[in-house]
Chain A
Amino acid sequence: MKRWHWISLAALMAGSLILERTIAHDPSHASPWWRHIPGFYGWLGFLGCIGIIVVSKLLGRKWLQKDERYYDGK
């Protein structure tokens, strides 16, 4: 990742947050509780991503991951 990659990512996030606050909500859809949390989808993405990795790896390590020849042996 080069520096300009990070800068454009930050600009994209900032732009989306500004748009989220300024543009009126799309009236064709219902307005649930999470619309009032700033940057909700950002949090969902970040925490969701970490959560998925941690939960999957935990399940794998404790239970699901076996040696590749698991079914070949007796």
Chain B
Amino acid sequence: MGSELILHPAFLVLMGALVLALAPPRARGKVFPLFPLGALWICWNLSADQSLSVEFLDYRLSILQVDRLSRIFGIVFSLIGFAGGLFALHLRDVRQQVAALLYTGSALGLVFSGDWLTLFFFWELAALSSTVLIWSRRGTGPGVGLRYLLVHLFGGSLLLAGILGQVHASGDISLQVLEAGRWSSWLILAGIAVNAAIPPLHAWLADAYPRATVTGAVFLSAFTTKSAVYLLVRVAPGWEVLITLGVIMALYGVIFAVLANDIREILAYHIISQVGYMVAAVGIGTPLALNGAVAHAFSHILYKALLFMGAGVVLQATGRSRLSDLGGLGRTMPVTLWLYMAGAFSISGFPLFNGFISKSMVVSAALDAHHQAAYLLLGLASVGTFLSIGLKLPYFTWFGRGRQEINVSQSPRNMHLAMGLLAFLCIGFGVFPSLLYAELPYGAGYRPYTIPHLVESIQLLAATFLGFWWYRSRLAGQPTLTLDTDWFYRRPAGWVRRFVVEGTSRLFDRADAGVLAGIGWLAARSKNPTLWFGRGAEPEQAPTMAGEDPDATRPRLELAVTLILLSALLIAAAAFFR
């Protein structure tokens, strides 16, 4: 059993997190990429139908269940773990390194889970470990990580509730296609929708990713949303509601990316947009569409990590990430620019880049399945992708007006090396699509390089460029914040804080002050009973023992005489009437 576990890609990486924590600090960066590399080797050699299970309580947990779908996700997750490790080779922060390995390991564990309970364990471990990558950024308060964690715990609760309902109804914990019409299926779908960033449950992504660490964002861009896509392909193929949601996502991300100012926020909104293609493809549900979803997830992980690396290098070298603070960096950062552009051409669907061979698969599948509106709207979304990622972001970062005040520091060479590796893969899969197609899980032939496909792409991209050039002055970054659905928990949070925390503490303060004043009032009257009769000078502040003027509280003579006479009179009257 123990010896078999070492051959589980997830356990190898999770063990790596432990080894890394114990390794000498200088070696940690170099040891890090070895574990994902080992996992990649294992995933590559896994054969379909390989499985491994353990007994836990009354259940038989299937911790390794291999088929072509899990294998290809395992391969790309390990690959990006390796590239991310290379990008972070210079890092001296054990907390981030361990969290990144735990996160990679949980993503791998998730795709190889054969049952709901194992999957849920890795689902939650991924949420916890990824939160650390957001918290580790210096200068960001704990708020953003806390929001991220709470949203994911909420999503996890939905998933768990759905899983419990599912297991209760079927008596079986194995991962199976969800049945329509069961409430537990909808709960599971809602839980997955949080991680897949389907609006209106998406706002955590654009809130947290731009505020993660430079290296952490690379890992974040790959795992959470794509493992949710994996799960959708596994359990919800052909759920038609996903077509509508996917198309909405694709356009939603595009519109918000036009308004975004932070370069990593632009990239984050385009994760939502690109995952929209995958979600829509899962909804279409034909073998070509499902292959398209998987292929696009594969391509997307590679080019999106490359784009986040490019933006991370800019942030690290200049300390800036807002378009309104950037400009003219092309001369000082040419290597970063061109490596970034390889990712930008890929995401925009340029022929010979990997986005083209996967995105065209999804849109062709939409057309073949007679979803014409979805086809046209996804085409519109790819216009927006090229506009924001391929034109707006690079134009206002590397081209345009240079700024004298920007100091550009040298970036570690390993960062460019990691970008180079991913750029090489983006172009490699773009030029030789059969390398990817051969590994796809569902049997459906597809040829990307046909004359009509090329004509469509060239016209779409060239015309988008013309539109951008004509209107480019309107696209300059503005230092503003864009409201999104996180308003619904961020804004009321202020009100709740004001009412529950500040309101309560104000109430306590007032009560405190009231009680103290009352005690002072009583104390003065106990010391000097003449005050009850409204006479005598009441001391302005509580009397102190030392240095006090005795005359200040001394009763006046006539009052004392009156009191004594009155008392004598009362005693006499009492004696008389007894």
Contact = CB atoms under 8 A, between A and B. Distances in A.
Given A16-B455, A26-B450, A55-B255, A68 B466 contact: no
B367 A30 contact: yes
Interface in A58-74: 59-60, 63-71, 74
A23 B451 CA distance: 8
Given A9-B465, A46-B463, A49-B468, A65 B478 contact: yes
B379 A65 contact: no
B379 A44 contact: yes
Contact of A53 (B379, B461, B471): B471
Contact of B451 (A19, A43, A65): A19
Contact of B464 (A20, A28, A48, A69): A48
Contact of A60 (B259, B463, B468, B491): B259
B259 A46 contact: no
B138 interface: no
B225 to A, nearest CB: 22
A56 B381 CA distance: 13
Contacts of A30: 367-368, 370
Contact of A29 (B368, B468, B475): B368
Contacts of A17: 459
Interface string B371-385: 010011001100110
B452 A50 contact: no
Contact of A66 (B258, B461, B466, B483): B483
- B450, B463, B470, most chain A CB atoms within 10 A: B463
Given A12-B458, A30-B368, A71-B494, A41 B471 contact: no
A44 B479 contact: no
A52 interface: yes
A43 B258 CA distance: 20
Main secondary structure of the interface of B (DSSP, over half): helix
A44 B383 contact: yes
Nearest to B479: A68
B387 interface: yes
Contact of B367 (A29, A57, A69): A29
Contact of A71 (B364, B464, B474, B481): B481
Contacts of B562: none
A68 B411 CA distance: 29
Contacts of B467: 45-50, 53
Given A13-B462, A19-B455, A53-B474, A68 B481 contact: yes
B463 A64 contact: no
B491 A71 contact: yes
Given A46-B467, A71-B491, A52 B451 contact: no
A29 B460 CA distance: 19
A5 B383 CA distance: 20
A34 B484 CA distance: 35
Nearest to B494: A74
B482 interface: yes
A43 B463 contact: yes
B494 A1 contact: no
Given A23-B452, A50-B470, A52-B387, A42 B255 contact: no
Interface in B282-319: none
Interface string A33-44: 010000111111
Nearest to A53: B471
Interface string B436-480: 000000000001001111111111111111111111001100111
18 contacts: A9-B462, A26-B453, A29-B452, A30-B367, A42-B460, A44-B379, A45-B383, A48-B464, A49-B471, A52-B387, A53-B387, A53-B475, A56-B255, A56-B259, A60-B258, A60-B482, A71-B481, A71-B494
Given A57-B259, A64-B484, 16 more contacts: A13-B459, A16-B454, A19-B455, A29-B368, A30-B368, A41-B379, A41-B463, A45-B459, A52-B258, A53-B471, A56-B256, A57-B258, A60-B258, A65-B483, A66-B483, A70-B481
Q: Which 6 A-B pairs have the closest CB atoms?
A: A49-B467, A45-B463, A56-B258, A41-B459, A46-B463, A48-B383
Interface of B: 254-256, 258-259, 364, 367-368, 370, 372, 375-376, 379-380, 383-384, 387, 447, 450-471, 474-475, 478-484, 490-491, 494, 498
